[in-house]
Every structure is written in structure tokens, then in C-alpha cells.
Amino acid sequence: MSYIVYSDSDTIEKIEGIAYRKLSEFYGVVAGAFGVFIDGNAPSIVEAYEAAGVEVLSEAPTNPKPPLPGAAVNWGDIKGKPALLALGATADTAAAGNHNHAITANAASGLAAAANVQAAFQAVSTRVKTLEDAAAAG
């Protein structure tokens, strides 16, 4: 993380590498921040960052500092993520439709082919139930 800018303005010029938050999106000090600029009246945000030892800037930063090695990074601030992530609705959730893994038959174990994991488990469950019923009847 580098700098954090809190502003309710939709016209603020955003610079790549600097994290931007709305004033109402303050839930605590962002770990790894080098400095913070607050565009507006938000004394509670200023106090929280000062108490954490983070520099409160008097003007908006114009150049991001590089993050320290091993510093925490906010997932939403990462630019150029691979398109594969587009399958999920967000960075934290995955689309339901992209988890249909086909099961290949295995003759040695008797595993039958299945269209997906759900179908494979249903087939195994059916086989186990058949064996249990046969053992109980026998």
C-alpha cells in the first residue's frame, strides 16, 4: 500500500498506485499506508491515522510510493489482474457456473465417468446404499 486518499468528490483526479476511499468508507486505519490525505472534514479519520503514526498529508499526493516488500496490499488496488478473475462476481466470490469438473472413469477402481463432481458423488452414494442394503438383506 502507498497513500490513501479519502474524498467524497467524484471529480478528484485518480493516480494509479494511490488508493481512494469515500469518507463514509472509513472502517479503520489501512495497514501499510505511508500517508493519508483527507479531502473534507473528517476529524475521526485524522485522529485514527495520527494515533497509528501514519503521516497526515496537507495536500493530495501526486506520486505513489512503492510498497515495502511484504506489505499488505488491498485486492481492489491491484491493477492488471488476469481475465480469469472475471469468472467470479468479485475478487472474493466465484461464479457458480465455472466449477463443473468432469470425472474420468477408472476401470481399476470401478469409478464411473460423470459430468461433474455432484454427479460422481451421487453415483458413489447410490453404490454404497446398494451395498449396504444387500448386506442388511443377506
- For 32-68, the pLDDT digits (tens) are 888 999 999 999 999 999 999 999 999 998 888 766 6
Give the per-residue pLDDT at 34: 85
Question: In 86-120, which positions are buried (b, 16+ CB within 10 angstroms) versus exposed (e)?
Answer: eeeeeeeeeeeeeeeeebeeeeeeeeeebeeeeeb
Instruction: For the chain, list residues with pLDDT below 70.
Output: 1, 66-68, 71, 76-100
Domain ranges of the chain: 3-80, 99-137
pTM over 0.85: no
